[in-house]
Chains A and B, each alone.
Chain A
Amino acid sequence: MGHVKIENLTKEYVNRRSVKRQPGDAARPGEIMRVLDNVNLEFQDGEMVCVLGASGCGKSSMLRIIAGFDTPSSGRVLIDGKEVKGPSADHIFVFQHNGLLPWMTVWQNVELGVRHISDEQEKRHMVFEFLDMVELTGFENHYPNQLSGGMQRRAELARALVVNPDMLFMDEPFTGLDYLTQLRIREEVVNIHSYIGKTMIMVTHFIEDAVIMADRIIVMGDRPTKVKAVYEMKFERPRNLETNKELAEIRDDIFLKLGVSYAV
């Protein structure tokens, strides 16, 4: 239910910036910028996929295209053999910045996913179950701005999960969290993934998170934006970079591929 195939995916934008982003930037105003160049990938059902790359390399664009929020310039994305035409409640997107609706309480936000269920009892039960799963019981009537960053992220996860989607997309879900909260959410996402077994695609720039979490790591190159490397991560959990040499080697390798050396 969550098999993804990306075929010859290319995405181009017209550069609308009136000034150059960086001195070395090639794109002039009005020029066409290619953010994805002929990407071919395949993810198996139930995999935890982490997409790594420098900022601006097109990894978020790719995720948005897979989720149906954006259209490819050429090529296509197939989910379970069907071409993606637009967003769908079968594939829930967890946003980079807080995607909770700020005018709704935590309860109302989570309820969005099950609002068509007519049985009030069942609806309440489901919302409660997932709020309980992310340990947010007691915060049902709080508005998002009354929660910490980590709690907001967890509430958004609950809202995504209550839909029972085939797939979950996450665009840098750890950005803006303090280190401990980041680790806690990371653990939570891994636990949820092993519990529900759905395909999850996560864009991140935290290489260590990817090595710890992923079943498959995609490393994207920067200009031209192609897939640089794919790692299949068949390691037991829990994973520990300190004790598992192989994991540490993969981490170092990814750092090198991204043009930074981990050991200085």
Chain B
Amino acid sequence: MMRKALKRSFILFPVLSFVVIFLLWDGITRYSDWSHQVFPGPMVVMQSALDLAQDSSLLKHSVASLYRVTVGFYLAVMLGIPLGILLGRMTVAKSLINPLIQFLRPISPLAWIPLAMLWFGIGDQPAIFLIFLASFFPLVVATAVAVESINPMYFQVAANFNFSRIEVITKIVVPAIIPEVVTAIRLTVAIAWLVVVAAEMIAVQSGLGYLIVDARNALRMDNVMVGMITIGLIGLLLDIIMIRVTSVDYLKWAKAKK
């Protein structure tokens, strides 16, 4: 019974809400004065999506966007998490670097676009740089906070068992922060995905953001909508993947904690 109810609320209800939106959208386009050029209906958009999929440009743009997100995000993880650990563990490092991070953090990555284009030219690099910026600061801050909130008792256990500095990191700090950091990664992927589209609207000639801008210039609102829907779908997919990652087996220990 329980299982059935769960299945219903997890699959049936979301599908239902999409169907309702679809019908509303269709109704508005049929019974409003807007032309199909300004407000294309769902059938038109689906046809355009099929056309874009057939000449594989939709796939090409999606891959281009995902590639940039992947590279920029990996860079942010590789640099941000170690820096976060350092900030969380060393008071000196924190008072040196933290003010700088808190100063740079509220500057929208989009404000960096002019400089990014000047420094890296046109192509993948400026977009990757912007994604890196967008993901780096949240990761650093979340990691530092996670490290600071580790129960001090575990460090006393470490001292009692004569842990070396490296052991304190590998056996205490890293495992202790994994649950929080995984959550931060999940949230940050969503931010990175937001930013890549914005970056592609300006700095590059490929990707889903470029697809939208290009369609707008050609006054193809149906293709604009295809771009938006694709972005939404991939974002949804990324989130589902991230949830899968967060529920892997090595986090079994943290399940009953909170």
Interface membership of A88, Cβ < 8 A? yes
Interface membership of A101, Cβ < 8 A? yes
Q: For residue A92, which residues in chain B have a CB less than 8 angstroms away from its CB?
A: 160-161
A151 to B161, CA, bound (A): 21
A144 to B255, CA, bound (A): 11
Q: For residue B253, which residues in chain A have a CB less than 8 angstroms away from its CB?
A: 102-104, 143-145
Q: Is the interface of A mostly helix, strand, loop or mixed?
A: loop
State which residues 150-188 of B face A: CB under 8 Å: 153-154, 156-157, 159-162, 171-172, 175-176, 178
Find out whether the CB atom of A163 lies under 8 angstroms from the CB atom of B257.
no
Find out whether the CB atom of A103 lies under 8 angstroms from the CB atom of B254.
yes
Q: Is the interface of B mostly helix, strand, loop or mixed?
A: helix
State which residues 195-242 of A face B: CB under 8 Å: none
Minimum C-beta distance from B136 to chain A (A): 26
- Total count of chain A residues near the partner, CB < 8 A: 23
Minimum C-beta distance from A32 to chain B (A): 23
Find out whether the CB atom of A89 lies under 8 angstroms from the CB atom of B175.
no
* A87-B156, A93-B156 as given contacts; A102 in contact with B161, CB under 8 Å: no
- Chain B positions within 8 Å of A, measured between CB atoms, are 153-154, 156-157, 159-162, 171-172, 175-176, 178, 252-257
- Chain A positions within 8 Å of B, measured between CB atoms, are 67, 69, 86-89, 91-93, 95, 97, 99, 101-104, 112-113, 143-146, 163
Known pairs A103-B254, A145-B253; list 13 more (Cβ under 8 Å): A67-B160, A88-B162, A89-B160, A93-B156, A93-B157, A95-B156, A95-B157, A99-B154, A101-B157, A101-B171, A102-B254, A145-B256, A145-B257
- Name 29 A/B residue pairs within 8 A (Cβ), A-sorted: A67-B160, A69-B156, A69-B159, A86-B159, A87-B159, A88-B160, A88-B162, A89-B161, A93-B157, A95-B153, A95-B156, A95-B157, A99-B156, A101-B154, A101-B171, A102-B253, A102-B257, A103-B176, A103-B178, A104-B171, A104-B175, A104-B253, A112-B171, A113-B161, A143-B253, A144-B253, A145-B255, A145-B256, A146-B256
